[in-house]
Amino acid sequence: MTYFYAHLFAGDSEISAMFPAAMHAQRQRFYRALRQIMALTAPAPASDPAAVAELTGYLSALGRAHRKFGVRKEHYSSVRTALLTTAARFAPATAADRAVDWEVAFDQAVEIMIGAAEEDAEHAPAWWTAEVTGHELRTPGIAVLTVRPSEPFPYRPGQYLTVQTPRWPRVWRRYSIANAPRDDGSVTLHVRAIGGGLVSNTLVHHTRPGDILLLGRAEGVMTPDTESGRRRPVLGLAGGTGLAPLKAVAEALAGCGEPPEVVLYVGARSASELYDLPALRQMEMDSPWLEVIAATSQEMAEGTRHGTIPALARKARWQDRDVYISGPDAMIVSTVQVLRDAGAPAGLLHFDLPDYELPEEIA
């Protein structure tokens, strides 16, 4: 990937201006996307309509997401040249024996991405400007921000968006939306400042009401069914600021005629990090169908259960429920593993891991 980007940037300075100086995460994301693209022409997935549909959806989302970077149709030819050069340099001599045609794979993938981007451009901007209207520092390292986009911002409860700050141009980071759609169009984000995190530290420690942010389009599949009348009870498993999308899911279900029973586990290392517990308790009092269970993993705290979210998931009632899982990637993977080992059907487990590949046995 380092070779690929060096070749790409040397050949097209306009493209190099789209990327941040720190490229480690970008290289990882591109490598994952490349593996998905190559699967498009692999014999097994190509003959599996479900696999092709899943991959087409992935590439369409990728094409739409690239609009916020300023990527245009003509840029793909430079990427193609750099990719084929990289393949010729690093692919093993036996690659031809696998009958994988890099050019065909790339061209098919790009056709899907460009088509999705052009269709998206007909009804949505590449990004939204948004004013920060509220900033609450809930703990020394966690803030709750409310931002109001300048234009209507379409999303579904449970989805996430990407954020860019003026302090770090071209650096986009992903945050989940913590509310169902509101009349004024505002969205709330829960942000934890992480060590070395450029955007997260800016949002937590250096952002104030009146500041302007850029928002990328909403994405994600962890969304509840609020339309049909056949809703199952819900189990929510949230770790840290992973609470945000599950709170949005609960708010959306509250707007249904007859909300299903919702049991929401909210985990943190200590009671002091349960930053939204007062609001959740109030929500619980107002909603007889909602039960909130707070948990701490590194201390025994009054009014909470002790244990990690994966450990508590093993004991929770998940049978015949839609299970929504959100938090750090490792927590999500562990929780999914626990539930699958216990016999939970994959179709009832809802989570987003856009930059992480699940092991095949639990995917």
Mean pLDDT by 10 residues, the chain (363 residues): 89 84 78 74 62 82 90 90 84 54 81 94 95 98 97 96 94 95 96 94 98 96 82 94 97 88 96 96 95 95 93 94 96 96 95 68 50
Q: Which two tokens stand for residue 340?
A: 């699958």
Superfamily of domain 128-215: Translation factors (2.40.30.10)
Residue 198, φ and ψ in degrees, nearest 5: -65, -55
The closest alpha carbon to 164, from 138, 127, 190, belongs to 127
CATH number of this structure's domain 234-350: 3.40.50.80
pLDDT of residue 306: 95
Superfamily of domain 2-121: Globins (1.10.490.10)
Q: Where are the domains of the chain?
A: 2-121, 128-215, 234-350
pLDDT in tens, 205-224: 999 999 999 999 999 999 99
Q: How far is residue 137's CA from residue 275's CA, in Å, rounded to a whole number?
A: 9
Write 64-68 long-range contacts (CB < 8 A, 24+).
Answer: 64/116, 64/117, 64/120, 64/217, 65/162, 65/216, 65/217, 65/219, 66/113, 66/117, 67/117, 67/120, 67/121, 67/126, 67/127, 67/217, 68/126, 68/127, 68/162, 68/164, 68/172, 68/214, 68/216, 68/217
pLDDT in tens, 211-261: 999 999 999 999 998 877 667 999 999 999 999 999 999 999 998 878 899
pLDDT of residue 99: 41
The closest alpha carbon to 249, from 283, 277, 217, belongs to 283
Residue type at position 336: V
pLDDT of residue 27: 83
Give the largest Cα separation in the chain, rounded. 66
Residue type at position 142: I
Residue 259, φ and ψ in degrees, nearest 5: -60, 140
Q: Which two tokens stand for residue 50?
A: 């479900």
Classify residue 71 as left (phi > 0), alpha (psi -120 to 50) or beta.
Answer: beta
Which residues, including other chains, have CB under 8 Å from residue 1's CB and lie 6 or more apart?
Answer: 27, 28, 30, 31
pLDDT of residue 256: 81
- Identical topology for domains 2-121 and 234-350: no
pLDDT of residue 97: 47
